[in-house]
Amino acid sequence: MTLRLALRATAAAAAALLALAGCSTGSEEPEAEATAAAGADGFPVTVATAFGDVTVEEEPQRVVALGWSDAETALALGVQPVGATDWLGFGGEGVGPWAEGLYEEAPEILPTTDLDPEAVAALQPDLILDTRQDGDQARYDALSQIAPVVGPPEGVIEYGTTWQQQVDLVAQALGRTEEGEQLTEETEAAIAEAREAHPGFEGTEVAVGAYFAGQYGAYVRGDSRVDLMEQLGFTNSPEVEALADGSSFYVNVARERLDVLDADLSVVFPIGDVVEELRGDELLQGIGSAQAGRLVVLEDPALVNAFSSGSALGIRYAVEEAVPLFAQALA
């Protein structure tokens, strides 16, 4: 089964479970009793977040997904947000090709960082998902005046919510914990299968970098890209980690220090349509890994976005498409 078909099957199964829960058993149970039973199905739920415990009294009917990849996660669990953000600039419904077709009706696309509480309120949400964001208290305070807000977990850096934490938080809030556990198991199984198939990844040092507006940078532990590489068996470059200060998932790398990106495997991608600049950059192409053929430049925008999505669905797409490129470079 292809990944796209598997995703559709997962969403369909989640919807089927919801429909099954609401179906009559054929008994003559009075309508009031049936309604009470349905309303008691797992709710209220209380979700622990960095901003404190958040209680969702009833099963949400109108979900607004504002955090990075929150919409994809809700879709994977069979719930369709009425409003969402488009952090990676996909356009259209605001999700990557790995989630294409999961919406029955396109959501209202909202700004990412420039919060407009009135636009959010206009959608009349009964739940706001904001699990991967910068942890801004003012943002939370404004949104919590509208509806219960499920923010990031405690103890993560800005945008540092892992995909596992995101699935767990969203699944709890939506009353879809079983579906969440299944999604996590399937995603971890895909990663484990790739790791087992490529034992050469184990312990191999990797540096993951990006290029944007003439500036290079590298990702450190706590970033979803590095987390994925380490789950595949790689070890993030100690030279890169030495630049981290614990406050961000990213460190700037000066052009005269591009040797920092030199590792057993170097993975670099452009942000924006600048891949030709990477191909023609003599300094980048001159680092040791590039000279040895162990520099992978991710060029396909869909793959770059999947690698950057930090969502369970995007990660599975990235594992399918990127792992062969890593293996080829190390062969």
Domains belonging to the chain, first-starting first, are: 45-175 (3.40.50.1980), 191-330 (3.40.50.1980)
User: How are strands ordered across the β-sheet holding 63-65?
Assistant: 108-110, 83-85, 63-65, 127-129, 149-150
| pLDDT per position as a tens digit, 149-185 | 999 999 998 999 999 999 999 999 999 999 999 999 9
Phi-psi region of 312 (alpha: psi -120 to 50; beta: other; left: phi over 0): alpha
Of 41-45, 138-142, 308-312, give the lowest mean pLDDT range: 41-45
Query: Would you state the structure tokens that stand for residue 180, as one six-digit string?
Result: 């969440």
Can you give the C-alpha Rg of the chain in angstroms? 21
Whole-number pLDDT of residue 79: 98
State the average pLDDT over residues 95-120.
94
Distance CA 195, CA 191 (A): 6
State the average pLDDT over residues 265-272.
93
Whether residue 30 is predicted with pLDDT greater than 50 in this model: the reply is: no
Distance CA 271, CA 177 (A): 35
What's phi and psi for 287, nearest 5 deg?
Answer: -70, 160
